[in-house]
Chain A
Amino acid sequence: MAVTAGAPLRRGVLPFIAWRPKGRTATLAVYIVRRLLWMIPVLFFVIVITFFLMHQAPGGPWDREGRQLSPAVVNNLNIKYGLDKPEWQQFLLYVWGAAHFDFGDSLQSPGQHVSTLLLESWPYTFTLGAATFLLLVPIGVGLGVIAALRQNSWADYTALGMATVFASTPNFVVGILLIIVFAIGLNKLTGGNFYLPTGGLPEPYNPFQVQLLMPVFTLGALPTAYIARLTRASTLETLRQDFVRTAWAKGLKGRLVVTRHVLKNSLIPVVTALGPTFAFLITGSFIVETLFSIPGIGRSFVTSIESRDYTMILGTTLLFAVLIALVNLVVDVLYVFIDPRVRLSD
């Protein structure tokens, strides 16, 4: 097709440059794109720091207990994985590869790409984290609001008591107790009729499998308690504000006061906290994944650090950096919708 004028071409081919942001939606779009572009230098510095820190750690991927690898074998392994080159050269090669989405081969799993291993294990972690989050938000926020609205009642004390217990019990205790009670105890008591599987996640993408019950509880107990306490404190503070008193005074129904005036304001700090909580949940927990034999990324990350699997460490750190950056972006954008006072700017 013949091009007849400059303007349509500019609009069609280079919309971003031609587009002058007008109105709220446009500003938002520009903001998001700029934030995404900013991730590139951020990720670069994540690589710089991780790369040089991990090479500083004593010992290398071929150090071990028991029978030692001979110098000849170590030399050949170094050549095979490019570790014989000077560090700065390895670094540049890694950055170049990463820019092309090539994250190298794992040093501990011969013949396996880091990206394959990450894509294999992260879905398990994400499913577990997302399922936990889906339960955490209504339960944590719900308990917090109820406790605040019925301050100093039995409901408040129960919610607060539970929150305190779960916030102060380490998850390896919670997890092993659950296994003893539900997987072994009830199984024995009922002659094998009631039995909860301890995990293993047969389907990596299904958040509604029974295997998830115990790991979700173990992983979610502490953050739920934290969110409940935060919601309670924030709601109590909002309830004492003048505008809420005004709302009550002008005779608004209780439900409306709570949903329209109180919650909308009291949830702003909660949303701020939910962002990092979500990022924490989907980047995996070593303890929960080990305890419930979930083949997730939290476990493989710790294992890769212990074994100095350099490429796996870098790949996992990069994935975590991307996830956390994206979650933060989502939270920042959500502010616009929750709090009308927030204006996004560069």
Chain B
Amino acid sequence: MTTEITFPVNQQEVTNFSKDRQEPQWFTDLRLSSLENAFSLELPKAEKTRINKWNFTSFDFDAKTSGSGNFSDLSDSVKSLVGEEKNIQNLIAQKNGVTTFQALHEDLKNKGVIFTDLTTALSNHEELVKKYFMQDAISANENRLTSLHAALVNGGTFLYVPKNVEVEVPLQAVYSHEGTFGLFNHVVIVAEENSSVTYVENYLSEGSHSEAVANIVAEVYVGDGATVRYGAVDNLSDTVTTYVNRRGQVTGRDAKLYWALGQMNDGNTVSENTTYLVGEGSYGDTKTVSIGRGNQSQNFTTNIIHFGKHSDGQILKHGVMKDSATSIFNGVSKIEHGATKANGEQTERVLMLSEKARGDANPILLIDEDDVTAGHAASVGKIDPLQMFYLMSRGLTKKEAERLIIHGFLAPVVNALPIESVKEQLYDVIERKVY
């Protein structure tokens, strides 16, 4: 796999790639059937955004990188996210899908926690991966991009937390992307009964900016009484077209899933984030913040779908729009028949910093059950002049007052990220993007 390829990638290339990695046959078969399906399937529907001319299929499949496994070989931007080597306990760093550094604390290993790259997981924990990989939360056949993803997956992480194990420290993953590489990254997180874990990931671009594609899928499975906190900062460059689909299957009774997503890509992005609240009394909480700038076009859809009785879903989406950027914010709370006493709440707010930018907030409630509560709030507007007056009346310049208001507006996600260096990085990204 060395030459530049345009979709469709041929079967032989996919087969060779899978063989090189010594993947099990069922995985190779899934790749091949998905590749075939990709021809006939449609692109995903991004409500109110036209994505049919976007580049999802032209990229290079050669990672052009290798992992030494030495901390010192990591780039400075990765190092700034993960802190000093002596303090690192649990980390996976990958560049163009190749693992460059990996660590998991001995205690966690002994408790049966698995935190490793997907390729290693396929060889060491094949049955577990098979049980979850694109099974329930997402299917390879949903649309052209999910099938392309299944066919070409070339990076990612498998995280498994056994029953009753509470992982107290956050587990961190950093995925960097460089050049024309097409990154097909896949994350699977499984939290068994009464376990808990926090996972934080960063996507970032390195080197010169080239036309490229990122096709990212994450699946999270949360068992009875388990809690998963999933934090992410997406920060790919303006030349990378991104499809990212993060799904949560909250199947367990009283299971909880918290998302905190900082969606800071500079390129065109379609993002779907869907939480299925299946378990009785299950809880889903999604917080996303984003900044649109330049000419980028983005579509952010958050779904929480209630099946379980007494399930509770909370959506908060805040977006800042500047320059000539366009973003569509769709929030969908869907309560299925039988999900009695369910509660769905959502808030979408868009702050417009430029006359030329466009931002749409679409809160949608779809309710098939009578005995529920639900609510939504949405607004699109400029910075409140009275807030500006108040802050400036204390001596803050216009710029400084705006800065405080914007950082405050995006704080719900910044504050929810449990790793200090990642929090700081997101703060810096916001600072850089707004000014």
Are chains A and B native binding partners rather than an unrelated pairing?
A: no
Q: Which residues on B are within 8 Å of A, measured CB to CB? A: none
Q: Which residues on A are within 8 Å of B, measured CB to CB? A: none
